[in-house]
Every structure is written in C-alpha cells, then in structure tokens.
Structure 1
Amino acid sequence: MLKSSLDENILGMTQIQVLSDKPTLIAHTLNLIVDKIHTTLQQQEKFTLALAGGGTPKPLYEALAQQSLPLEKIHIFWGDERYVSAAHPDSNQRMAREAWLDQVDFPSSNIHPMPTGSNDPSVDAQTHDQELRDFFGVEAGEFPTFDIILLGMGDDGHTASLFPKTEALTVSDRLITVGNKDGQPRLTFTYPLLNHARCIIFLVAGENKRPALAQIFSPDGDETLYPAKAVQPQGELIWLLDEAAGAELNG
C-alpha cells in the first residue's frame, strides 16, 4: 500500500510512528507514557490509565515496574477483560498484576479491575459502568475522560473487545458493554468511552497486522469489519507500530 492511498481524513488527526523492532517500540512507548504521567500530574491531582491485554504490552508493563512513578496518584483500569476469574491464565488483570502492579507498592484502592464474578456478564458490565461513573463523577448520558487508554489490535482489526460485526459496536449509551469473541463473552469499553479519551495509544506489532492496518488507514475501510478504524478520540490518537507491522505505512 502506498502512502498516497491512506485516508487523509484519518491521517490529519493521527500520529503514526513506525519503530525499528519490538524492543524499540516498547522503549518508545514507555518513555511516552512516563512523560505524559509526569506532565499531566503537574496540572492535576490524579492520572487515569486504562491498560490493554494481549501479549504485546506485557514487556511494557514489566518496564513500567522498573520506573519510579507517583503510584499514589495513578489509577489503573482495563479497556476490556475476558469473562474469567482474576486468577485465570487468560485474565488481562492477572497479566498486568504479574508484570507490573504486584511488583511495586501500588495502592490497592488505585486498581480498578472489571468485575467478572456474578456469572452474568451483563450484570458485571452494569456494575463496572456505575463504578466508572462514581469514580469520575459523571451522570447518565455523560462520558468520562481517561488520560491514556492503551489499546492493541488483533489481526482481524478488533480492539479492546470490539470484534467485527458484533453487537458491541453499536452501543452508544453506555460506558461498558458485553463483547463477544467466538461465543465467549468479554467486558469492554464502548466506542463513546474510548473516543472521549485525552490520549489513545495503539501498540501494534507483527507482520500479521498489516492487512488490517491497510484497511484501517484506507478511505474504503469498513469500520464494522475493522473496528479499530472507528476509534477517533477527541484528544490525541497515536499509533505506535514495529517495522514488521508498519512497513507499508512508513514509505
């Protein structure tokens, strides 16, 4: 795909950075997040960060565990969660705790996982929706603003647990909804919540992501088939890619 074939409307609002390899990608993302934490906390009392699951961000979390951060001012959330217990190997919460949160003296009251224990994903989605509203102090019909939401992208173009042609893509009146992956429920941020963010950072690695990226940055790409394309926040949108994923966007 040539640079000229990219959707200029998207590029006008988006930063795309292609890093040489995954370690460089992780190091760059680490520096960006740490800088934003310190800069933001000069202006406000707390910093809100929503984490991504999957394998790509794990080394980032491990690197964050080595940083000196004002943990008492940082509040951690998740953009989506598999509907499993926090002890399950597939849990996004478990991965982040093992890689970062449990490795440092993080105040437990500053960690806000998605609940998955009621045996009813819809009930847990409503519970977390209200938890977010209470934390941010927003009423029904309003959407809070996260300082950073970190997102990944699957090779099918999904992000968070917003999968192609699923009902979750149409939810516009809630913060949290139930996503669906091959019949397995997940909890996920909705588009309106994502798009109210102050900054969204996509972290994408691997050659298998190229076809989806081509569609996401194409004027003809279909948002229902490539859901990451519909993430267009009111604040910054930063795509950070390794060379394997982003070579065709780096021309």
Structure 2
Amino acid sequence: MSKKVEVLPDQGALITRALELILSKMETAIQERGQFTIALSGGSTPKPLYEAISTQKLPWDKIHVFWGDERYVPPDHPDSNQLMARRAWLDRVDIPTGNIHAIPTNQNDPAAGAAEYERHLQEFFHSSPGELPSLDVILLGMGDDAHTASLFPHTEALKVTDKLITVGNKDGNPRITFTYPFINSARCVIFIVAGANKKPALAQIFAPVADEFTYPSRLIQPQGELWWLLDAAAGSDLK
C-alpha cells in the first residue's frame, strides 16, 4: 500500500485536488483498460466535487459509476446518496444509463438488496464468488465517529470478510455497504475529509495503535494507493 496525506488550505482547494486526482486516475484507467470504474460516497463534502466533474468534457461512455454505500431509502428520497449524485453530476451529463450502477433499495429486505448488488458486481467484473474485483477509485468520507461507507463502530458489518457487499446499521436503520476487504481491493482509495469536528477521529486513525472496531476507518488499508485529502480545519493537528 502507498499512503499519501495532503492537508489543503480550505474546502475549495480540497475539491480542486480531489478532482485533479480523479481525472488523472481516469486517464490512466482508460488508457490501460479501456474504462474507468469509480465508487461514490455520500454526505455533503463530495457534492461540489460531483458538480465539478459534471463540467468536464469526458468520455462518458467509458465511465462506470458505483456507490460505496447507500441508505435503505427509495432512489428519490432526500437522504439517497444516489439522488444527490444524480442531481449534482449524473443527470447533467450524457452518461449511458447502463453505466450507472445504483444500489437496489426497492425491496423490503436489505439483505436481498445487498446480495443483488454483489451479483451485479460479479457479473460486471466477471469475478467468481470469493474473488475481490478492483475498482479504479473508491471515494470515501469519514464521520466524526470514524465510520466510513456504512461501516459503523462496533457493528456486524465490520466482521464481514467473505463478501463484497453487506448490510450496515446506523441507529437501527439498515444501509447497504461495501465490505472493508472489497474497499481494500481497490487500485486507489481517496478519503475526502473536511471540518474541525473530524480532528478527534483522525487522531485515532493516524495513531500507531487504536481499536479498528471502534475506529473503522483504520480498517481501510488498500492493496493500491491510499490518499487522505483533508482541509486545514480537519488536518491541521496531524504531524
């Protein structure tokens, strides 16, 4: 694993750097493999990034978009990660419908939705059960409790190591999420973290020793590159 930490002066600079990095990874992936696969994160921080991507002239037919996690709500629900990304980016560009790989949340059973998304990923990547395909880029945020995707402290999802997708849990509300081994199979993982409220969690993430089940973002140790892009409010205390 190659780990890089950058502290940017403000959120604007954070988004500019994230865009630069994603476009660079995209160019390499399309040159080498003919397509670019990216998993998006939810939350408020990446929204301006998605808006920035939507203004670029890109080979949309070669870009495939996935989600690292999703709240178990209908796709048109205000809390939907998919809805946010569609409004900020995907509905604004000429990307083929088949290149948008949304997490299914239209059943009454989150476990069935998780299994369906896992099958879809296996078909897309031509991978066998038990195999971990590699996305080009996985974007992650981090909560002030050190969760990432829908991998929350001391939840069952943190123990799932034999699947790509599992059911996460936030205060009794189910979510569908990538498992940490699947995240770790990525070619590049980019954390985008902003705000002074993240400082205590970051101190534990970067500490030499801390409990991974209390601070789940510590579990993210990808085989490829790991980038931590932080604004100054979040990252100013890091050595």
The residue type equivalent to 1:103 in the other structure is R
Distance of 1:86 and 1:171 partners within structure 2: 26
The residue type equivalent to 1:45 in the other structure is G
Aligned twin of 1:244:
233
Distance of 1:188 and 1:39 partners within structure 2: 27
Distance of 2:38 and 2:95 partners within structure 1: 13
Shift of 1:158: 0.1
Deviations 1:162-212 (A, max 9, x none): 000000000011110000000000000001100100000000000000000
Cα contact 2:2–2:224 (8 A) shared by 1:
no
Aligned pairs, number: 239
2:118 matches 1:129: yes
Deviations 1:45-103 (A, max 9, x none): 11100000000000000000000111100000000000000000000000000000001
Deviations 1:124-160 (A, max 9, x none): 0000010000000000110110000000000000000
Task: Flag structure 2 segments of 5+ consecutive residues without an equivalent.
Answer: none
Shift >3 Å, 4+ stretches? none
Distance of 1:22 and 1:42 partners within structure 2: 30
Distance of 1:20 and 1:133 partners within structure 2: 40
Task: Flag structure 1 segments of 5+ consecutive residues without an equivalent.
Answer: 1-11
1:67 to 43, 48, 56: 56
Shift of 1:42: 1.1
**RMSD across aligned C-alpha pairs, in angstroms?**
0.8
Aligned twin of 2:152:
163
1:191 to 180, 191, 202: 180
Corresponding residue SS for 1:168: helix
- Correspondences of 1:32-51 after superposition (within 5 Å): 32-51=21-40
2:212 matches 1:223: yes
Deviations 1:90-125 (A, max 9, x none): 000000000000011111000000000111000000
TM-score with structure 1 setting the length: 0.94
Distance of 1:125 and 1:41 partners within structure 2: 28
- Correspondences of 1:93-132 after superposition (within 5 Å): 93-132=82-121
The residue type equivalent to 2:64 in the other structure is H
The residue type equivalent to 1:123 in the other structure is A
Distance of 1:202 and 1:221 partners within structure 2: 19
Aligned twin of 1:181:
170
Distance of 1:54 and 1:41 partners within structure 2: 28
1:31 to 12, 20, 42: 20
TM-score with structure 2 setting the length: 0.99
Corresponding residue SS for 1:17: strand
- Correspondences of 1:208-219 after superposition (within 5 Å): 208-219=197-208
Corresponding residue SS for 1:15: strand
The range that moved more, 128-137 or 33-42, is 33-42
1:88 to 72, 77, 84: 77
Shift of 1:39: 2.0
Distance of 1:243 and 1:32 partners within structure 2: 18
